[in-house]
Amino acid sequence: MIKATRQLSGREGFTLVEVIATIIVAAILGTIFINYMGTAMSQSTRAIEIVRDEAGAEALIEQIVADYVYEVNRDPSTALATMKGYIDLPTLKYGSKVSAQYIKYKDDLSGDEEKPPPALSNTLKVTIAAAGNDLITLLTKSRTTTSPTVAF
């Protein structure tokens, strides 16, 4: 039997140039990865903030509707004006993110809004600014003093 002898080539392991090149490539890739992940991590809370702000806006719109129902049950003829007074300066009962304006829809079935004087409008458009989407509700003067009381 012939014994196989292993010839040592004198080349075991990596050279210094290969090690340095590997470290440089790893550093470049690490920098790119950290920049990407840093951006992704800082933007990951944005979705949570949007949901939180929209939930707060929904709670606020429910409070506005409840107050409107109360005012309608009290005096339907002044309910819209009272709500407009709660929303506008100087009261700002619901905060600065809530705005209200009287609107009227055009008679041409286009769905376009007009901004008439309060005496000519039966609709108050209430807008709540939220981080994701604005919430809008329409409060209307559709009840009379002979209408049954609205439950809330």
Cα angle 73, 78, 83; round to 5: 85
The reply to whether 147 falls in a domain is: no
Q: Phi first, then psi: what are they for 84, rounded to 5°?
A: -60, -40
Is residue 1 pLDDT above 50, yes or no?
no
pLDDT tens-digit map of 97-116: 999 999 988 777 777 888 88
pLDDT tens-digit map of 63-101: 999 999 999 888 888 999 999 999 998 888 999 999 999
Residues spanned by the domain of 95: 16-140
* DSSP per residue, 25-61: HHHHHHHHHHHHHHHHHHHHHHHHHHHHHHHHHHHHH
pTM of model > 0.75: no
The amino acid present at 113, given as its one-letter code, is E
The reply to whether 66 falls in a domain is: yes
The reply to whether 33 falls in a domain is: yes
The reply to whether 7 falls in a domain is: no
